[in-house]
Structure 1
């Protein structure tokens, strides 16, 4: 019997897996989970993967780790399948790296150029050993580098989408698994040239790993991506645009280190740093000659100038009016947030209280009006259903909605839920790395044909009437009879704040739920958060939007508070839309509950001046 997906995250403390005692879960993803476990008093990271879903990737990852024995590569201590009687999970026992992901380390540590160079040197050494063994990582990024707390040593982790010479083929897509923001120009160019060529397949090399490490180094030095664009134009930017040298973006970056970074980001493999070994030699030489300027933190630290006297809170007025400058990193001063900015927490408490409050009994007149509204709603739903339903039955696609116009770039395709043999890589790195790499799936895109007008007469009305009758007989799913949310105003000054950030009413931008790769998830009525995908004018990449979801015929969302990565908060007025710019997210098959639904994790938010 196949283990249900949530079972990977249900092991309680004390559970025994292959002789290891589970202590706590470190992270989880769609196809696996990582636990901290102990055996004979020693800590390990147990990576559990669903065998039925990841296929040969478990064996490939084990084979890769067995080929590598290097101090800057996460070590393997064992592997097997579990439960023994009826194996459904692959188990990889790995070294437990007690520390922080590279992006978290950089954000909290506010490192100097010397510290960054040392960390990247460690990763270069790991790649040098991997490439010499014929292994490609194929997903080098901050989330797959751990900085050990005890000594600051960096370790490359998560070879779940890696490859090695002579490995049996798994990938059937035109591009192998990988994270779009770290793909090389040659990969994107190959996709553009061969998007319609049957069985075309890009073969990455060591230079692809080096390009990705160049992106990592750039972000460490400048706290921004080398190609700051939205995810729809990412491929174009990587292919055609030249990144500004890090020393021009941040004057604290040593020129020599900036040049090393730019050599990694050369547009062609021939002009790029030739090997990880060459990168190692260059960094070692730079560190030997580094002076005191290399010990200055690369970013400004948080201090008294970042807060106002009003509750010690960052003023959104101050933030909106300040010029673009070096970002801040490091520890923030302790301060209390005023009640105004406890929005998400207060919202959750208020909605929970409202849910516990008994509703008054409706009058008979109110009941009749409600029943009439219900009938009208059902008839309307039936009319729409009848208009949209084709007369000839055809297989339903995985996603019901068409892509937005102009969304055919590979940056968007790479964020779509794939449906091939390698739908999602099995990468769940130790200790807390989640599967974010998403393979690129070739899709046949056709313009939707407008439905023909329904014929007049009984035939045209039959489906709506049947739908209404079914609703009255309580045969429809609950979600179909629940009305859409009522109108409500935006938070005070939200529209003004958005406009000063360059976001006008009617503008829209890509967002995702807080998961690590695109997928279908279950959501419920109540508080929710979304993460902004790339900079939206002056609203920075990674900004979190807090609000609530309303489950109805679709899943509607209204988001009223924003929080940037560095803690700045301000009001917004954003309505959730699908990627085809329809209000609300479509309900995916599998949950007809009136208070919960299955939805895809990516969509858009649109700036509005009121919730209609």
Structure 2
């Protein structure tokens, strides 16, 4: 039985034990599946993932989310280990965000400056909230930005590789790459420079997403290049290409150029500085 079918059966098993109604699958990642479930009139997202190795990272994700209370962060209600067919699973029950993903929205075309800023300001507020709790999301990308029922309010989800700055890193020193999605990762992630990772890593990732919203492409990927070239440019700590800088300035989004600095010290120093730049 493949993983998709096995997790679907496990989801039905969890729902039966918990008195939940399994409605449909919502989506999937490399090793995770999410399902829409109901309890009475309330809808939730049920997420299942096989437990492979230590559960330290799963516990950190749970603790980090339970410590957050922000309108633009998906709420976690419960998370616990379980078993199905003798195999260990991690189960999470989260807030259901019904408005689709930013990834889906961008597949239909780029956004206007106003639409992008309406995303940017609340998400920068999320970075402030995480900064105050010494958390770094490390996986900000269009697929992890959902929209609330109004279709306008952005909600950040998937804290699976959250970094808790006050706890020892779970990433091995010898690894060439750190956790993250390469197309949206900051240089310090791509090079596994753990000592450089802080809230400014999330700032860089969010700036990549916002640049993609207005440019219709990755800011380090020129029209004749592919995404792999862009990742190499970022990992090599190159400055934003002049063509992208010019376009961002023309579109009134020049504040993103500083957030895309290859070195953390060149980015906005504090979240409120970034928030203020987005407000101008």
- Shorter-chain TM band: 0.7 to 0.9
Structure 2 residues without counterparts, runs of 5 or longer: none
Give the deviation of 1:246 after TM superposition: 5.0
Q: Distance in 1 between matches of 2:144 and 2:187?
A: 21
* CA contact 1:126–1:155 (8 Å) conserved in 2: no
Structure 1 counterpart of 2:212: 219
Q: Distance in 1 between matches of 2:140 and 2:247?
A: 23
Q: Distance in 1 between matches of 2:103 and 2:64?
A: 25
Give the deviation of 1:62 after TM superposition: 0.4
Structure 2 counterpart of 1:43: 43
Structure 2 counterpart of 1:141: 141
* CA contact 1:46–1:94 (8 Å) conserved in 2: yes
TM-score by length of 2: 0.85
1:267–1:96: structure 2 CA closer, same or farther, 3 Å change rule?
Answer: same
* CA contact 1:175–1:201 (8 Å) conserved in 2: no
Give the deviation of 1:160 after TM superposition: 0.2
Structure 1 counterpart of 2:161: 161
* CA contact 2:124–2:275 (8 Å) conserved in 1: yes
Q: Which has the larger radius of gyration?
A: 1
Structure 1 counterpart of 2:171: 171
* CA contact 1:18–1:82 (8 Å) conserved in 2: no
Structure 1 residues without counterparts, runs of 5 or longer: 192-199, 287-612
Q: Distance in 2 between matches of 1:14 and 1:159?
A: 22
Q: Distance in 1 between matches of 2:74 and 2:133?
A: 15
* CA contact 2:180–2:189 (8 Å) conserved in 1: no
Give the deviation of 1:41 after TM superposition: 1.5
Match status 1:260 vs 2:262: no
Structure 2 counterpart of 1:279: 274
Structure 2 counterpart of 1:240: 238
1:259–1:110: structure 2 CA closer, same or farther, 3 Å change rule?
Answer: closer
1:32–1:242: structure 2 CA closer, same or farther, 3 Å change rule?
Answer: closer
Q: Distance in 2 between matches of 1:265 and 1:112?
A: 20
Give the deviation of 1:103 after TM superposition: 2.5
Give the deviation of 1:64 after TM superposition: 1.0
Number of residue pairs the alignment of both structures matches:
271
Structure 2 counterpart of 1:532: none
> Any idea what SS the aligned residue of 1:88 has?
strand
Match status 1:183 vs 2:185: yes
* CA contact 1:161–1:177 (8 Å) conserved in 2: yes
Q: Distance in 1 between matches of 2:262 and 2:216?
A: 21
Q: Distance in 1 between matches of 2:161 and 2:261?
A: 24
Q: Distance in 1 between matches of 2:68 and 2:97?
A: 16
Give the deviation of 1:170 after TM superposition: 2.4
Q: Distance in 1 between matches of 2:168 and 2:265?
A: 28
> Any idea what SS the aligned residue of 2:265 has?
coil
Q: Distance in 1 between matches of 2:250 and 2:147?
A: 23
Q: Distance in 1 between matches of 2:54 and 2:3?
A: 12
**CA distances 1:360-414 after superposition (whole Å, capped 9, x unpaired):** xxxxxxxxxxxxxxxxxxxxxxxxxxxxxxxxxxxxxxxxxxxxxxxxxxxxxxx
Give the deviation of 1:100 after TM superposition: 1.7
Superposed counterparts of 1:392-431, under 5 Å:
none
**CA distances 1:294-323 after superposition (whole Å, capped 9, x unpaired):** xxxxxxxxxxxxxxxxxxxxxxxxxxxxxx
Structure 1 counterpart of 2:199: 206
Structure 2 counterpart of 1:9: 8
1:259–1:36: structure 2 CA closer, same or farther, 3 Å change rule?
Answer: same
**Alignment root-mean-square deviation, CA:** 2.9
Give the deviation of 1:19 after TM superposition: 3.0
Structure 1 counterpart of 2:60: 60
Give the deviation of 1:168 after TM superposition: 4.9
> Any idea what SS the aligned residue of 1:73 has?
coil
Q: Distance in 1 between matches of 2:276 and 2:239?
A: 28
> Any idea what SS the aligned residue of 1:155 has?
strand
Q: Distance in 2 between matches of 1:134 and 1:78?
A: 22
1:22–1:203: structure 2 CA closer, same or farther, 3 Å change rule?
Answer: farther
> Any idea what SS the aligned residue of 1:27 has?
strand
Give the deviation of 1:187 after TM superposition: 4.3
Give the deviation of 1:184 after TM superposition: 2.2
Superposed counterparts of 1:518-537, under 5 Å:
none
Q: Distance in 2 between matches of 1:204 and 1:175?
A: 13
Q: Distance in 2 between matches of 1:144 and 1:85?
A: 30
Give the deviation of 1:12 after TM superposition: 5.5
Q: Distance in 1 between matches of 2:73 and 2:28?
A: 21
Whichever structure has more helix as a proportion of its residues is: 2
**CA distances 1:407-450 after superposition (whole Å, capped 9, x unpaired):** xxxxxxxxxxxxxxxxxxxxxxxxxxxxxxxxxxxxxxxxxxxx
* CA contact 2:179–2:189 (8 Å) conserved in 1: no
**CA distances 1:264-294 after superposition (whole Å, capped 9, x unpaired):** 112322221223222222223x2xxxxxxxx
Q: Distance in 1 between matches of 2:255 and 2:245?
A: 11
Superposed counterparts of 1:556-567, under 5 Å:
none
Q: Distance in 1 between matches of 2:36 and 2:164?
A: 28
1:92–1:33: structure 2 CA closer, same or farther, 3 Å change rule?
Answer: same
